Amino acid sequence: MSDLDLKPTEPQFPPLFSGLEVAVGIDPFSKACAEAALGCDAGLVVYAPAGTEMQAAIVFAPEQPLDEAMAVFKACGVGFQNALGALAPPEVGVHLSWDGEVFVNGARCGRLRVAASETDGATEPDWIVVGLELPILPQDPDTPGLTPEDTCLYEEGCAEVDTVHLLEAWVRHTLMWISRLESEGPRALHAEWRGLARNMGEGVKLTLQGTTYTGTFMGVDEHFGMLLRAEDKTQVLPLRLILETGDEI
């Protein structure tokens, strides 16, 4: 068998998407943000080599003000759930926190993260980057289940899920939801995301951009801002509050 036969399969993406594999140790999310800032084309998918964690990021070029454009983050989350749901055993359940954490069978299993060229909700950003970090194998193979609040795909019966196929499926399903968002508006995405949302109707505590918020998660507004009720008052936390900036990227 030749070395060519042993080379891992490169992911195949839909038209207008292109792939960029980074070297080991390079964070795809940071790389995607850097490429976006340099003016790369939308649809760039930056991904890390296969390992104990799946890491990837997609560059988007929205044409709406930031608050409206942040819906792409929810499209990526729903797209990931759809992708894993199609490849994993049917008993595997995937849910999403409002701020991007991924939960598989009730335990935390990676996260989605997001950055943009702007932080003003009324300004149209040049780019938005959404990243995915998903543990595939346990951090310590000798002590699986050591931290029951955290998990990985291997521990949840997804050992047969191929990370290349999962990456391809994530991009395809995300593209489908973005297309529906553009053609139909946010209603369908809202309905799908609400069915996957974690802790809705329950008490939550979040720290966003240095401020801690506590209250009951009542739902989301038209732009997926969190409706947080505390002391008989409801405030809206814009989704842009989860944006990573500066040293966080």
pLDDT at 90: 94
Q: What pLDDT is recorded for position 198?
A: 97
What is the overall mean pLDDT for the chain? 93
pTM recorded for the entire structure: 0.93
Strands 107-116, 101-104: pairing is antiparallel
pLDDT in tens, 94-116: 999 999 999 999 999 999 999 99
Look at residue 9 in the predicted model and tell me its pLDDT.
Answer: 77
| C-alpha to C-alpha distance for 148 and 103, rounded to whole angstroms | 12
pLDDT in tens, 26-66: 999 999 999 999 999 999 999 999 889 999 999 999 999 99
Domains of the chain: 10-197 (3.30.930.10), 203-244 (2.30.30.100)
Q: Please report the pLDDT score of residue 3 as a whole number.
A: 41
Quote the CA–CA distance of 32 and 147 in Å, as a whole number.
Answer: 31
Q: Where are the beta strands (DSSP E) in the chain?
A: 18-21, 44-47, 53-60, 94-96, 101-104, 107-116, 128-135, 203-208, 211-220, 226-230, 233-237
pLDDT in tens, 218-230: 999 999 999 999 9
Token representation of residue 225 = 């801002």
pLDDT digits (tens, 9 = 90+) for 177-202: 999 999 999 999 999 999 999 999 99
Structure-model confidence comparison of residues 247 and 233, the more confident one: 233
Token pair 């359940």: residue: 93
pLDDT higher than threshold 80 for residue 146: no
What's the confidence (pLDDT) of residue 6?
Answer: 42
Amino acid at 36: A
Q: Each residue of 77-97: pLDDT tens digit?
A: 999 999 999 999 999 999 999
Phi/psi for 149 (5° steps) reads -80, -15
- The yes-or-no verdict on residue 133 having pLDDT over 50 is yes
What pLDDT is attached to residue 103? Answer: 98
